[in-house]
Structure 1
C-alpha cells in the first residue's frame, strides 16, 4: 500500500530544468510524507524512497539554495518514517560527507549546513532508538568528517548541533569502534572552548565529557583534555563553570579508569563547590554526593571503619556542612594534588590565584586531618597568599588558614608552625599562623610563652610595617583569650602578661610614631592593656610603673647617628607618649634621652624633645610620689635634660634645641606648679638671654614661663622683671600680649623684718616700686592700643598691679591722665578700680 505518490512523475519533475518546479515538487513531497497516515506501512514508504532517493540526494548538489534546502527536509521526512537500513544510511551519509566533509566548504549556506548536521543527528537518534546503532560502524570515517567540519564551522548554531550529535553518538557507540576517531573529535572541540558564545562553550564541554569516556587513557590525550578544560573553571559565565563540574561528575561516575585520574578530575568538581554562584553550587552539590556514595559502595570495608573513628571536630566552621565519608575518601586518596594547587597560588594572574585558593579550601575541607602530614608543603604558599596584593585573594587565603587550624591535628602542625615563624619573621607567615592558631582548640602555657617571646623579639615587635603591627596585636589578643583556658599559676600568668605588655607597648609606640597620631592599632593596643589591668586588678598607671622600664630596655642602638625616622628613635618617641614620665623609670628614661642628644641627628633630638615637652604637661598626674621626692625628680630631670640646652649655642640646631628646651620647661612649670616654684629660680640666670632670643618660638615659651617664676627675692627677680617688661615691645603680637599679662603676675618675696638689716627691706620695696611704676606707665600706654587683645591684657595687669600698689596706681593714673589721648576710657578704667574692691580683693588673696 502506497500513499498516492507518482514516483515517475516526481523523478521527472526533479530533473526539470526549472528550479521553481524542482523546489515546488520537493515541498509537496515533504508535505505528503509528513501528512501520510500512520497506517501506511514503513515498507511501502521504503519502496517509494528506493525509487526517489537518488533524485533527492542529487538535489543536495543543486545550484539553487531553495532546492537544496527542500531536498534535505524531504529526505529527513522520509527518514523519520523509514525502518533502519544500511543501504539508505550509507547513501545519505556519503552524500552528507561530500557536501559537508570536504577540506574546503562546499555548501555556502550556513542554514543548509545546519540542516545537514540535524539530518545526521536524526539518523543517529532513529537508529539508537532501535538498538541498531552498530550499522554506523561502516561509515564512521565519513560521519567523523562531517562532525569535525561542523564543529569548526563559522556558524555557532552548526557547531552546537554538531556537539549535540557527538554527545548522542558517544552515549550509544561502542568504545572499541569509536576510540580511533576520538582524537580528531576532541582536537576540533578544543577550538570551541574559547568561543565567544557561552552556549557554544557549554556544548563543547558536554561533548568533550562524553567523548572522553571513550578515549585511550594510556596516552597524552587525557592529560591534554584536563589542561584544556580546566581554564573554563574560571569562566565568567556560571553555566559554563557548572558544565565543567558536570563533566567532572560524569568522569567520576562513568570513566572506566577513573581511579587513575581522581587527581585530575576532582578539581573540576571541587571548584564548583566553592563557586560564587548559588546556581552552580546547588546543581553540583547533589551530584557530588552521588559520586561519594558510589565511592563508598566500592570501598565500603575501608571507609566504614574510618567513619567510626573520625568524628567531626568541635570547632568545625559555622554554617559549613561536613562532606560525607565517601566524598572525603575521594579527596583523601588524592593528596598529591596539593603540589599542583599550591603552585598555582603564586601565579601572576589574579583569577588563577583566587581559583587555586578556592580549590585548596575545598581540598582541606574534605581531606581534614588526613593532610596534616602535608602541611609543611603548603605552609609557605598559604602564608604568601595571605599577603596577596588583591584583597579578594588574601581574604580567601585567610579562610584556608582558618580551616587548616580547625581540621588539622594541632600537635602535629604546631611545631612546624613555630618553625616557620622563627625562620621567616614576615607578615605573611604571622598572618597565616594567626588564623590557624586562633581557630585551633589547642594551645598550652608553653606554647603561649614561646609565642609571646617570639613576638617580643626585635624581628617582630620592632617592625615598621602597619599591617605587620596589626597582626602582632591581634595575636596578643588571641594569647590573652587562650590564657584563660590553660593550666598555669598566677606567677606564670603574670610572666605571660608581662611579655604581652612589653610587646604591645613597643608595637603601639611605633604605630603612633609612624602615624603621628592615635590610630586604630594604638586603640587596639590600649584595649589589650585594659584587659591586662582587669586581669591583674590594678590601674593602668600601676601597670606602667611595674613594667614600662622593660619596654625601655628594648630601645637599643641609640648611640649611633640615627635620624628622626630610625626605628629606635621612633620607638622611644612613641613610648614617651604612651607611658609619659613616671618616677619608677625616670632615671632610665633620662639615660635613653641623653643617648639621643649625644649621638643622634639634630632632627632626632628635636623630635624626642618635642614629645618630652608634651609629656611634661602631665607631670602632676603621672609622677605620683610625695611632694619632696617629686621636686627632687623634677630638679634632676631639668638639670640633666633641659638646662644644658638653655644656654645659647650657635647654629640652627642649637636654636631648635633651645626652643624645645624652653617649651619643655614651660610645660613642666604648668604640669608641676608646686614643684616648679622651688626649681625654676635656679634657672633664672638663663632667662634674660632667652627672653631676647632671636627665635620667636623661644621668646614665646620664655615669656610664658615667666608667669610661673615665684618665690624669688627682689634682687634675683629684678633682671627677669625688666626683661619681661621689655617684651611688651616685641615684634610678635602674641609675645606682647603674654608679656603684658606676665607683668601683672610677678610677685617677688621680700625679706622678713627680723631677718633684714636696717634699710634693706625699705630698699627692696623702693626698687620694686620703681619697676611697678615703670610697668604701669607702659601698660597705660598700651591700654590705648588699637589691638584688642593687647588692650585687654594691659587692663587686666593694671587691675592686678593697682590692687597690690594703690598709691603707685593713683600717682601713675594722674600722670597718665594729663597725657592720655582718650581720657574717657582711662577714667572708666580708674572708676572700676575702687578702694573697696581693692580691699576685698586683698582679703581674698
Structure 2
C-alpha cells in the first residue's frame, strides 16, 4: 500500500531520494558545455524514465524540482538534442502526473514563445515543433478549462503558428490542438476563436488530404465552441471541399456540417447556409458518404420536428402522401421537408447562380442539389417558378451532359408537383415569345413528369402550341428538332389514348420535323414516334396515321401552294406526305395532281419544280403502291402529260432547267415502264410528247439521252400512227456516236424499231431516200470497234434490208473492202439472199 498513488505521505523518503538524485543533474543544466548539459539530461532520464516511479512520487519531484529547469531548457537551450531530451522528460512528467495544471504557468509561456514566433525565429527543427505541439495538445486534453482559460491568448498564438507551419504533420497536430482547445474552454474560447479562422482556411486546400481532413474537423470544433459569426468566413471554403476528389475529405465536410446542424448555437439562423452543404452529401459517389449524410439529415429533421412540434402538429396528425408522387422516389421525413420549405427562398437564388457558374464541377454539384431540394419542397416550389424556369432554360443548353440531365430531372419533378395550369402556362408563354431548344427541353421534361389525369385537360393547348408554325418551323438546327420531337414523344408516352384528340396536330409536327433537311440523324426516332402515335390509337403504323389524316394534311400543305418557292417549308412537307404515306396518297390523288399542276408551271421557281418532279418520279417507281393504289391514276394522265410533263420538256437555258427535263423524262419513262400509259394514251400523247422527247436526245445528261432513246423506241414499237419518221432517224443516228455505250445501244434499238414502223408500201416509197441514206451510215458502224454495236447494227440492217435489198447490196459492195473484216458484210449478204433476193438479179 506504500506505493499507491494517493498515499503521498508514505512516500516521503522515496521523494527525497529521487529529489536528491535529480538535483545533481539539474544544477548542470545551466552549464555552458553542451556535453555537460546532455549528460545532465541523460542522468535525469535515467532517474525518472528508466526506472519505475509511483505517479505521486514522479508528480512531486517533477512539479517541484524539474518543471522550471526543463521549461527553461525547452526555450533557451541552443542544442537540438538537449531540447529533444527536455521535451521527452516534460511530456513524461505531464502525462504521468495527476495535476497537470501545475505545469501550465511554466509550460504555456515556454511553448508560446517557442512556437508562436514568426517562421525562422521559433523552433527550427520540424520534429521538435511537432513534439512541442503534441505536448501542447496533451496539456489541452489533460487540464480543466478553468485552469486553461487565463492562458487562452498564448495558446491561440501557438496554435495559429502551428496551422501556418509548412510541416504537414505539424499542421495536423495544430488542428488537433485547436479542436482540443475549443472543447476544453467552451465558455471562453469564443473570445479568441476568430483568430484561428484565417490560418485554418489557408490550410484547408493543402495538398495532403489528411491535412485537409484535420483542418475541416478543427474548423467544426472552432466554430461550434467559438464565435458562430465566423461561419460566414468558412462556408465558401467548405463548399469547395464538397468537390474534393478524396472521399475522406468529403466525409469530413458532411460530419462537420451535420454536427453544426444538430448542435451549433444559433443554428436556426444558419440553416439556409448549412442545409445545402449537408444535402450535397446525398449525391456523393461513395455509398458510405451518402449513408452518412442521410443519417445526419434524418437526425436533423427529427430534432427539428421535436423542437417545433406545436407548429407542425396538424401535419404530423394528418400525414398525407401526394396522390401522384413520382414512382421510384422515397419521400423525405416531414421535419426534413419543412426545414427545406422554410429556407428555400434563401437557398434557391444562390443555387441558381451556382448552376450557371463557369466551373463545371460547381454546375454539376449545384444541379444535383437542385433535384434534392425539389424532392423536399414539392408543390411549394410554385412560388419560385419564374426564377427556376429562367435558370433551367439557361442551363439546359449546357454542354456538360451531367448538368443537363440533372436539370431535366428537376423539370420532371416540377411536372410532378406543380399544377400544369401554372407550369405549362409559364413555359408555353415563354416558348411563344422566343422559341429556343432549351425551352422545349424543359417543356418535354415537365410533360414527362406530369400525371396523365392532371395533364389531360391541357393536352389540346399543348398540342396547339407545338403545332404553331412559329414553333415547329422555327429552326433547322438538329438540337432544336430533337427537343421538339421529345415534346411529342413525351405527350404520347404520358397521355396514351388521350392523344387521339390531338393526333392531327402531333402528326403535323412530326411531318414538319421529317421535312427539315437536317433531320437525317433523327430518322429512327421519328419513325418510332410515328409508330407510337399510331399504336396508342390502335392504327396500323405510320401508314394508318396518314390514312386517318390525309385529307387534312393535304389541305394543310396546299393552302399556300400557289406561293411556294424552293425555300417554302410546305414544299418539303408535301414531299414527306407524298412519299411516306404509301398507298394512302392514292386516296388524295385529286389534291395531289392539283398541287402539281399549279406548281409545275414553267413560270414557277425552277428549283421548286425540280423538287416536285423528284417527288413524282419517286412515286412512279412503284405506282401501284403509291399514286395508283386506288386504280384512279389513269383519270389524271391527260393533265399529267399535257399540263405538267410536256411544258417542262421544252428546252430552257440553265442547269436547273436541264435537271427538270431529266426528271420529267424520268417520270415519262416510269409511266411507260409501269404500263400506266396505255397504247391508247400513248396515241393521244404522241403529237405532244414526241417532238420534245426527240429534242432531249441532245441533252448533256447521259441518263436523259438514254431514257429518251428508250421512250422513242417504245413509241415506235407501238406503230400507232404515222410519225414524222424522217425527222426522228437523224437524231437517233447521231446517238450512235454517243460517248455512252448504253446510249449507243439504246439508239440502235430505237433505229431497229424505226425500220419496223415502215410496214406498208406507201411509207416505203415516201422514205426511200431516207432508207438508202441510213444504209450508207449504218454500214460505217458495222465496222465499229465495239462488237456489241456491230451486232446491234447488223440486226438493224437485217431488219431494214428487206425494204430495198438491191440498194443495200450495192452499198455493201462499195464499202466491204474498206472494213477491217468482211465477216459482218458477208453475214448481211447471206441474210438478204435468204429472204429470196438474188444478187444476179439486181
Contact (CA 8 Å) 1:634, 1:679: kept in 2 or not? no
User: What residue ranges of structure 2 are gaps of 5+ in the alignment?
Assistant: 1-13, 835-842
Return the match for 1:527 from 503, 528, 531. 531
Alignment-derived partner of residue 703 in structure 1: 709
Q: Counterpart of 2:699 in 1: which secondary structure?
A: coil
1:732 aligns with 2:737: no
- Alpha-carbon distance between aligned partners in 1 of 2:389 and 2:226, rounded to the nearest angstrom: 38
Matches within 5 A, 1:804-843: 807=802, 821-822=820-821
Which residue pairs with 2:223 in the alignment?
Answer: 212
- Partner residue of 2:135 out of 109, 119, 129: 119
Of the structure 1 ranges 419-428 and 548-557, higher mean CA displacement relative to structure 2 is found in: 548-557
Query: Are the aligned partners of 1:541 and 1:622 in contact in 2 as well (CA < 8 Å)?
Result: no
- 1:720 and 2:728 matched: yes
Indicate the larger mover: 768-777 or 383-392.
768-777
Aligned-partner Cα distance in 2 for 1:705–1:532? 48
Contact 2:500/2:537, CA 8 A, preserved across alignment: no
CA shift in 2, pair 1:444/1:59, >3 Å = closer
Question: Would you say the 8 A contact 1:421–1:429 is kept in 2?
Answer: yes
Q: Equivalents in 2 of 1:15, 1:382: separation in Å?
A: 75
CA displacement at 1:796 relative to structure 2: 6.6
CA distance in 1, matches of 2:428, 2:521: 34
The alignment of Structure 1 onto Structure 2 pairs a total of residues equal to: 801
Question: What's 1:617 paired with?
Answer: 621
Return the offset for 1:216: 3.7
Match of 1:374 among 374, 384, 389: 384
Moved more, 350-359 or 564-573: 564-573
- Provide the C-alpha distance between the structure 2 equivalents of 1:614 and 1:198, rounded to a whole number of angstroms: 69
- Residue 328 of structure 1 is matched in structure 2 by 337
Residue number in structure 2 paired with 1:185: 196
Aligned in 2, Cα 1:474/1:121: closer, same or farther, shift over 3 Å?
same
Equivalent residues of 1:706, 1:724 under 8 A apart? no
Name which of 45, 66, 79 aligns with 2:81.
66
User: More displaced, 21-30 or 325-334?
Assistant: 21-30
How do 1:153-168 and structure 2 match up within 5 A?
Answer: 153-168=165-180
Deviation at 1:98, TM superposition (A): 0.7
Alpha-carbon distance change, 638 to 192 in structure 1, aligned in 2, over 3 angstroms: farther
CA–CA distance in structure 2, aligned partners of residues 141 and 556 of structure 1: 90
Q: Distance between the aligned counterparts of 2:825 and 2:246, measured in 1?
A: 89
Structure 2 residue 503 is the aligned partner of structure 1 residue 497: yes
Equivalent residue number for residue 754 of structure 1? none
Aligned pairs (5 A) from 1:614-653: 614-624=618-628, 629-653=632-656
Residue by residue, what CA displacement relative to the aligned partner does 1:536-573 show, whole Å, maximum 9, x if unpaired? 897466346333314414767955xx6x6675565555
- Cα shift at 1:289: 1.7
Q: Secondary structure at the match of 2:96?
A: coil
Give CA deviations for 1:658-679 in whole Å, capped at 9, x if unaligned.
4444344444444564357356
SS in 1 for 2:192: helix
Distance change >3 Å, CA 813–CA 289, structure 1 → 2:
farther
| Corresponding residue to 2:124 among 103, 108, 122 | 108
User: What secondary structure is seen at the aligned counterpart in 2 of 1:256?
Assistant: coil
Partner of 1:441: 451
SS in 2 for 1:321: coil
The answer as to 2:67 corresponding to 1:53 is: yes
Residue 42 (structure 2) pairs with residue 42 (structure 1): no
> Is 1:474–2:483 an aligned residue pair?
no
**1:10 maps onto 2:21 in alignment:** no
Give the direction of change, closer, same or farther, for the CA distance of 1:638–1:140 in structure 2 (3 Å limit).
farther
Distance (Å, rounded) in 2 between the aligned partners of 1:4 and 1:17: 25
Superposed, 1:85-164 pairs within 5 Å as: 85-105=100-120, 106-127=122-143, 132-164=144-176
1:693 and 1:699 in contact (8 A); partners too? yes
Residue in structure 2 matched with residue 196 of structure 1 by the alignment: 207
Deviations 1:628-670 (A, max 9, x none): x523423323444433332222344544444444344444444
Conserved? CA contact 1:45–1:78, under 8 Å: yes
The answer to which of 117-126 and 438-447 deviates more is 438-447
Q: How does 1:532-543 map to 2 (within 5 A)?
A: 534-535=538-539, 539=544, 542-543=547-548
Instruction: Give the structure-2-normalised TM-score.
Output: 0.85
My pick for the range that moved more, 526-535 or 679-688, is 526-535
CA distance in 2, matches of 1:796, 1:307: 99
Q: What residue is the counterpart of 1:690 in the other structure?
A: 696
CA separation in 2, counterparts of 1:29 and 1:737?
122
Matched, 1:22 2:34: no
Question: In the superposition, relative to structure 1, how do residues 591 and 468 fare at CA in structure 2: closer, same or farther (>3 Å)?
Answer: farther
**In structure 2, distance between residues paired with 1:626 and 1:407:** 52
Which deviates more from structure 2 when the two are superposed, residues 317-326 or residues 806-815? 806-815
Matches within 5 A, 1:735-814: 735-744=743-752, 761-764=760-763, 785-787=784-786, 791-792=787-788, 795=791, 807=802
Maintained 8 Å contact 1:249/1:287: yes
Structure 1 match to 2:4: none
User: Distance between the aligned counterparts of 1:670 and 1:547, measured in 2?
Assistant: 32
Cα drift, residue 745 of structure 1: 5.7
Aligned partners of 1:828 and 1:63: how far apart in 2?
Answer: 129
**Comparing 133-142 and 314-323, the one that deviates more:** 314-323
Partner of 2:11: none
**What is the TM-score of this pair, normalised by structure 1?**
0.84
Using the alignment, how far apart are the partners of 1:773 and 1:269 within structure 2?
104
1:538-557 matches, within 5 Å, as 539=544, 542-543=547-548, 545-553=550-558
SS at match of 1:714: coil
Are the counterparts in 2 of residues 552 and 589 from structure 1 also a CA contact under 8 Å? no
Return the offset for 1:153. 1.0
Q: What is the root-mean-square deviation of aligned Cα atoms in Å? A: 3.8
- Counterpart of 1:334 in 2: which secondary structure? helix
How far apart, in 2, do the equivalents of 1:59 and 1:825 lie? Answer: 129
| Residues 518/150 of structure 1: CA separation in 2 closer, same or farther (3 Å cut) | closer
For 2:166, what is the secondary structure of its paired residue? coil
Do the aligned residues in 1 keep the contact of 2:645 with 2:664 (CA within 8 Å)? Answer: yes
Aligned to 1:757: none
Displacement, 1:748?
7.3
Gaps of 5+ in 1: 487-492, 752-760, 836-845
Per-residue CA deviation, residues 486-540 of structure 1 (Å, 9 max, x unaligned), is 4xxxxxx655211122221111111xx2256883344345435643774389746
User: For the residues of structure 1 that align with 2:37 and 2:611, how far apart are their CA atoms?
Assistant: 101
Distance 2:343 2:189 in 1: 30
Q: Name the CA shift for 1:435/1:40 in 2 (closer, same or farther; >3 Å).
A: same
Distance 1:265 1:688 in 2: 87
From 323, 345, 352, the counterpart of 2:355: 345
Aligned partner (choices 376, 401, 420) of residue 391 of structure 1: 401
In structure 1, C-alpha distance between the alignment counterparts of 2:550 and 2:757, rounded to whole Å: 38
Distance 2:497 2:288 in 1: 43
Which of the residues 223, 242, 245 maps onto 1:236? 245
**CA shift for structure 1 position 156:** 1.2
1:718 & 1:525 partners in 2: Cα distance? 59
Map of 1:519-598 to 2, 5 A cutoff? 519-528=523-532, 530-531=534-535, 534-535=538-539, 539=544, 542-543=547-548, 545-553=550-558, 558=563, 567=569, 571=573, 574=576, 577-579=579-581, 582=586, 583-590=589-596, 593-594=599-600, 598=603
